[in-house]
Amino acid sequence: MADAPRDGGPLPGARADIDPDFFGYRSLLDPDEQALLAGLRAWLTGNVAPIADDYWSRSEFPHQLIPELAELDVMGLSIDLADRKARRRLLSGFVGLEFARIDASFASFYGVHSGLAMGSIAQCGSDEQRERWLPAMRHLDQVGAFGLTEPHGGSDVAGGLETTARRDGDEWVLDGAKRWIGNGTFADLVVVWAKDVTDGSDGGVRGFVVEKDMPGFSSAKMENKMALRITQNADLTLDGVRVPEANRLQHADSFDDTNSILRSTRGSVAWSAVGVMTAVYEIAVQYAKDRVQFGRPIGANQLVQDLLARILGNLTASLGMAVRGAQLQDDGVFHDEQGALAKSFCTSRLRECVGWAREILGGNGILLEYGIARPFNDAEALYSYEGTREINTLIVGRSITGLSAFT
């Protein structure tokens, strides 16, 4: 493991003269937390960075890296397990940032598995269910996915779930379809959200752990994405899948429970946005210093410095919001509207930043090998998933005014 910095300064692997942590937020971390991040950064730099463009081009996931990734032991960090106490959200936030700095698809793998899937089981599962799945998921012996979105239900999935669950003795029968499910082509288990249509039920939303070899369950890779191409998104089909009652998350009784997971993972998307902003900032600064036009580095031009300062401003403001959000989560006082604002604000700033960074690189900004093209495209997915900007804005607007504008 690489040495941790002593003072919270740039981690090993950072370009020291381009410190993107302008206000020194990393100094809030303890030395052992910084050491963990340094180890993760070294691994990502050595193993993921060199192959990311190639896998992105081919739209494939490098499955061979999963065992080594498991050794880093960073999955489910903020979850209390029998043999590992929960770590601070601040740490898991910075972990997400590190993933996204190298590759946003890897950050998405981490967010889906560690946040959405493990988070659902941790938050909505019984003690027995937590014990049954979480240790294996921590070690990536089992990979998880989260199935909420449907072909006809994206933004209004809360009210419009078409996937149904009907109780039949000690089993449930699941029917329906899910779309966009990250890790969905290869996940060992998927947390599937469905509407209870059992006679006499309240029609509430329930969560089920569907295992990939259950009869009636199938997945098909979604092709031709222009963002997060390493992430394997899938269309899932549930055709009379019989799921034992033991696989129904025992504390998921309504969409409020689903929402409590999204609240926290929206905070995580903010961290991913900061990670991608960090990447494009570092690349753009270096390029502005190296690229010579009119006999001097392009970074000597006021207009280029303006773009760099704007990127750094967006990055710093977003990091501040992500850090404070993590602290509020640790204190148990993080609200829906805060998660919604962090997600929509940070991904909107990200979208500006990748455009400005691409501009600084001129034509080279659209070539994968110069480092901006992949995050430029990936930003589009971060902007739309886990609630679009409009939907998260409606959540914030409802909180500001006390009036719901959802129609």
Is there binding between residue 47 and ligand FAD (CB under 6 A)?
Answer: no
Smallest gap from Cβ 331 to ligand FAD, in A, equals 27
The smaller minimum CB distance to ligand FAD, of residues 68 and 390, is found at 390
Smallest gap from Cβ 117 to ligand FAD, in A, equals 9
The smaller minimum CB distance to ligand FAD, of residues 64 and 407, is found at 407
Is there binding between residue 230 and ligand FAD (CB under 6 A)?
Answer: no
Is there binding between residue 388 and ligand FAD (CB under 6 A)?
Answer: yes
Residues 278 and 101 sit within 8 Å (Cβ to Cβ): yes
Smallest gap from Cβ 57 to ligand FAD, in A, equals 17
Is there binding between residue 9 and ligand FAD (CB under 6 A)?
Answer: no
Candidates 17-25, 31-39, 213-221, 380-388; binding stretch for ligand FAD (CB under 6 A): 380-388
The smaller minimum CB distance to ligand FAD, of residues 286 and 384, is found at 384
The smaller minimum CB distance to ligand FAD, of residues 120 and 278, is found at 120
Is there binding between residue 391 and ligand FAD (CB under 6 A)?
Answer: yes
Site string for ligand FAD, 168-187 (x = CB under 6 A): ------------xxx-----
Query: Between residue 72 and residue 131, which ones bind ligand FAD under the rule CB under 6 A?
Result: 112
Shortest Cβ contact with ligand FAD: which residue?
154
Binding-site residue total for ligand FAD (CB under 6 A)? Answer: 22
The smaller minimum CB distance to ligand FAD, of residues 367 and 405, is found at 405
Query: Between residue 125 and residue 154, which ones bind ligand FAD under the rule CB under 6 A?
Result: 146-149, 154
Retrieve residue 168's tokens.
């039949």
Residues 165 and 173 sit within 8 Å (Cβ to Cβ): yes
Is there binding between residue 355 and ligand FAD (CB under 6 A)?
Answer: no
Smallest gap from Cβ 145 to ligand FAD, in A, equals 6
Chain residues that interact with ligand FAD, rule: CB under 6 A: 112, 146-149, 154-155, 180-182, 228, 233, 381, 384-388, 390-391, 406-407
